[in-house]
């Protein structure tokens, strides 16, 4: 994803040096309505890094654990009572990598998030047993915790974006599609229409089988653009327009991909002109900066 960051990235995501001050309760307290309530600033980045460190301490993970190694994370024993901490760790890594780390440097962060998301899924005995007997895709169908599925998928897709053909050959697209569709079944309103955003971006970014009609269909559940008038999406997710990423995804992964530059510019300008508000402090702040970056590119085509 194209990005414009306002601050310097703290290179040491060897989280834990100055991060030990945050307690587990303080870290959990930053989650409000499924989102992480920190500002889009260097202070917000530091809080997420401290949060990650607090989660790793709570899980008993020391610096010797290679979080980028799937086998190592899967072999690490964690009590089931801490499963929610594992899913929030996956979410924190996704947020750190997606918002604060430049896209050419964030693969390792998303790889860690992917592994913790998969760990959360496999901590479910039903999921683990079904995966062993029938495979990963069937196991996804027995999972009922959208947070584990959603954040595992989100991180995995970010990793797959770096190596699209390799991911396709390895069957990653089949697995992540099953996960995104399961998220949609469980709760289409999660993260203000997150499953719709995931599926729309998925069909926009496929190296083979790309389908922008499907992209539009999914995005029209979180947008009210004129292009949505005949796509048959039905009712929108409540409050979707107040979550600016719904609009920037429509601009980036549909309008820009279709060469509809005037429409993309108008939608991005709506994001830039709207107040960030207090509800989605982090993501709306980030989305406005991202919208400014995208608009610079769009204006080259106007």
Q: Domain segments of the chain: what residues?
A: 1-187, 214-302
The model's confidence at residue 14, banded by pLDDT at 50, 70 and 90, is very low
What CA–CA distance (Å, rounded) separates 52 from 54?
5
* Structure-token pair, residue 282: 């982090």
CB of 39 closer than 8 Å to CB of 281? yes
User: Which residue do the tokens 């729309």 mark?
Assistant: 200
φ/ψ of residue 211, rounded to 5: -145, 95
**SS3 (DSSP) at 58:** helix
Percent of the chain exceeding pLDDT 90 equals 84
Q: What is the mean pLDDT of residues 207-223?
A: 95
Q: What is the mean pLDDT of residues 198-225?
A: 95
Average pLDDT of the residues of the chain: 92
Whether the pLDDT of residue 10 is over 50: the answer is no
Task: Read off the pLDDT of residues 253-273 as tens digits, 9 standing for 90 and up.
Answer: 999 999 999 999 999 999 999
Average pLDDT over residues 184-207: 96
% the chain with pLDDT above 70:
93
Q: How far is it, in rounded angstroms, from Cα 217 to Cα 258? A: 14
Question: According to the model, what pLDDT value does residue 63 have?
Answer: 82
Section 156-175 average pLDDT: 90
- The per-residue pLDDT for 232 is 85
Alpha-helical (H) ranges within the chain are 24-29, 42-59, 70-75, 83-95, 107-122, 125-134, 136-140, 146-162, 164-169, 172-186, 194-205, 212-219, 245-250, 256-258, 261-273, 281-299
- Does the pLDDT of residue 6 top 70, yes or no? no
Q: Integer distance in angstroms from the first to the last C-alpha of the chain?
A: 21
The Cα–Cα gap between 236 and 246 comes to 11
Two tokens, residue 295: 């608009």
Instruction: Please enumerate in sequence order all residues whose Cβ is within 8 A of that of 136, keeping only pairs 6 or more positions apart, or say none.
Output: 175, 178
């Amino acid at each position: 994803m194209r990005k414009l960051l306002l601050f310097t990235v703290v290179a040491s995501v060897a989280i834990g040096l100055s991060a030990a001050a945050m307690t587990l309760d303080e870290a959990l307290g930053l989650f409000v309505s499924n989102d992480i309530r920190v500002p889009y600033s260097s202070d917000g980045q530091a809080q997420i890094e401290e949060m990650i460190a607090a989660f790793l301490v709570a899980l008993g993970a020391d610096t010797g654990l290679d979080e980028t190694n799937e086998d190592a994370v899967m072999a690490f024993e964690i009590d089931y009572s801490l499963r929610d901490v594992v899913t929030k760790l996956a979410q924190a890594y996704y947020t750190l990598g997606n918002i604060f780390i430049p896209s050419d440097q964030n693969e390792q962060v998303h790889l860690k998030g992917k592994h913790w998301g998969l760990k959360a899924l496999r901590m479910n005995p039903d999921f683990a047993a079904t995966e062993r007997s029938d495979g990963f895709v069937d196991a996804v169908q027995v999972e009922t915790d959208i947070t584990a599925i959603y954040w595992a998928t989100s991180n995995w897709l970010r990793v797959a974006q770096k190596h699209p053909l390799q991911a396709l050959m390895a069957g990653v697209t089949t697995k992540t599609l099953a996960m995104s569709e399961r998220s949609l079944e469980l709760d289409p309103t999660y993260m203000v229409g997150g499953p719709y955003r995931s599926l729309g971006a998925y069909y926009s970014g496929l190296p083979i089988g790309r389908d922008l009609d499907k992209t539009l269909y999914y995005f029209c559940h979180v947008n009210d653009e004129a292009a949505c008038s005949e796509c048959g999406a039905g009712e929108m997710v409540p409050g979707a327009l107040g979550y600016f990423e719904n609009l920037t995804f429509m601009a980036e992964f549909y309008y820009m991909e279709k060469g509809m530059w005037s429409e993309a510019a108008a939608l991005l300008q709506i994001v830039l002109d709207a107040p960030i508000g207090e509800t989605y402090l982090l993501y709306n702040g980030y989305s406005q900066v991202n919208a400014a970056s995208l608009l610079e590119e769009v204006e080259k085509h106007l």
